[in-house]
Amino acid sequence: MASKMFQTLLVYAVLLALSAVFISPFLWMLSTSLKHESRIFPKAGEPPQWIPTTTLLDASGHPMVVYEGREGVDLGPDEMGRHVLRLGSEEVAVWPEDFEVRQRLGLHWQNYTEAFYKMAFWQNLRNTLFICVTVVLGTLVSCSLVAYSFARIPWPGRDAVFVLVLATMMLPYQVTLIPLFALYRELGWVGTFKPLIVPAFFGTPFYIFLLRQFFLGVPQDLSASARIDGCNEFGIYLFIMLPLSKPALATTALFMFLFQWADFLDPLVYLQDDRQYTLAIALQQFQSQHESAWGPLMAMSSVITIPIILLFFLTQRTFIQGITLTGLKG
């Protein structure tokens, strides 16, 4: 019993340690986005600050300090390196390690306003949401139809075609990038959203496989009963399979939305106008134009990252259920 409890505690400890490792870069990015430029890179010997703070100053601009329980101000160092503190009507010279400088929470929200001002955020957000939503809808419609055909309709050569569809997943994207670019250029699609949206309406092999695995787990009796009542295949797909497939469809939508939200390569290749840029491209452009503006850069990175994290936490139950039911848990 004690050994089992120890193993459980060890597992939880390892999981907590790994969680801390994975989440610490995001927390540091969020912390940096709220720091003044002078506090982003600490001076030699100073520990890094996770929570941004700033020194409290009096009306004359002197740092406020606490020495032996008494409050005062720091007038600066003398010739020996000691700091002259004014404590009421008394002035004393003490070493820096003997007194405490008063600090307050110093959240520099100007980084966010500066980033929004320098970057066409709302336009980039509209472009990103338009692409994400359209691609998700196209993927759900096309992949669910193809997956239903592979899972529930017996037609000659079905299994061979399914293997061929899965085989396309083995082709590296870099192999097909140049031929696709040449094709889209001939069609006059380069410089538009079409290369990013239209392929989603022709199915994606991975999501076809995911939805097919779910459809195979739905009892055949439901389809047979519907056929006896006079329902055709499209009716079975629309009124029986889709309502039962909400977890798998939600998982597919979440996967696709996350991919499109963070996609950098495709918009970089096919979009040519600044007014068409997505958030990923706009962020890279902002970084190239303002290399030393770390505060606004981290602020905009946080704005782009936080919605994805919130979306995952809000849908994690459905996501995990969909992964389990489609047989992808390993």
User: Looking at the domain that runs over 119-289, which CATH code has it been given?
Assistant: 1.10.3720.10
Q: Are the C-beta atoms of residues 256 and 135 closer than 8 Å to each other? A: yes
Q: What is the pLDDT of residues 215-266, one digit of tens each?
A: 998 888 888 888 888 899 999 999 999 998 888 898 899 899 999 999 999 9
Task: Name residues whose C-beta falls within 8 Å of residue 278's C-beta, 6 or more positions apart in sequence.
Answer: 124, 127, 128, 131, 263, 267, 271
CATH architecture of the domain with residue range 53-105:
Roll (2.30)
Q: What is the DSSP letter of 240?
A: I
Radius of gyration over every alpha carbon of the chain, rounded to an integer in angstroms: 29
pLDDT score, position 137: 97
Q: Are the C-beta atoms of residues 94 and 83 closer than 8 Å to each other? A: yes
0.75 cut: is pTM over it? yes
Q: What is the pLDDT of residues 77-104, one digit of tens each?
A: 877 778 888 787 788 788 777 777 777 6
Q: Where are the domains of the chain?
A: 2-40, 53-105, 119-289
Nearest to 108 by CA among 32, 34, 28, 30: 34
